[in-house]
């Protein structure tokens, strides 16, 4: 209980969809496409890359993840800590913010809090 509130080691789940569309792996109602400039994509990739913990310069998988047929997933150690106040949804909001998208991570702990913002991005055709 204390770890949940104050935080513990975080993990990053990486899923490769292979030749499939993301919607085929995650579900049609779980994917929103947002157009990014080259700079936004670079900034987003940098943010994600800085989230991984490294050992001797390499990122290290912790355990395999759940994955659909034709995809691969694994959990990797993260430099970020996980807590009740800094969840995967907070991290995702920070990732989108790093790409200069109009998203706030403040108060984002639950998926619905992030999803509302992401749907606005889609509706606005965010760049």
What span, in angstroms and rounded, lies between the C-alpha atoms of 68 and 71? 6
Instruction: Sketch the domain layout of the chain as residue ranges.
Output: 2-124
Q: pLDDT (tens digit, 9 = 90+) per residue, 82-119? A: 888 889 999 999 999 999 999 999 999 999 999 999 99
pLDDT of residue 1: 47
Parallel, antiparallel, or unpaired for β 72-82 and 8-16? antiparallel
**Who wins on pLDDT, 5 or 73?**
73
Confidence of residue 126 (pLDDT cuts 50, 70, 90): low
The b-or-e profile of 68-91 (16+ CB within 10 A means b, else e) is eeebebbebbbebebbeebbbbbb
Mean pLDDT (whole number) for 64-84: 84
Give the DSSP H/E element, type plus range, for residue 3: helix 2-6
Question: Length of the chain, please?
Answer: 127
pLDDT higher than 70, residue 69: no
Structure tokens at 72: 């691969």
């Amino acid at each position: 209980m204390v770890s949940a509130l104050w935080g513990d080691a975080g993990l990053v789940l990486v899923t490769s969809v292979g030749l499939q569309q993301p919607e085929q792996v995650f579900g049609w109602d779980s994917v929103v496409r947002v157009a990014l400039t080259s700079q936004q994509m670079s900034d987003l990739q940098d943010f994600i890359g800085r989230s991984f913990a490294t050992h001797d310069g390499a990122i290290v998988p912790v355990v395999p993840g759940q994955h659909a047929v034709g995809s691969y997933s694994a959990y990797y150690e993260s430099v970020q800590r996980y807590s009740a106040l800094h969840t995967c949804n907070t991290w995702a909001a920070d990732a989108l913010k790093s790409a200069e998208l109009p998203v706030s991570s403040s108060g984002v702990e639950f998926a619905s809090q992030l999803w509302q913002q992401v749907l606005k991005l889609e509706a606005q055709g965010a760049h």
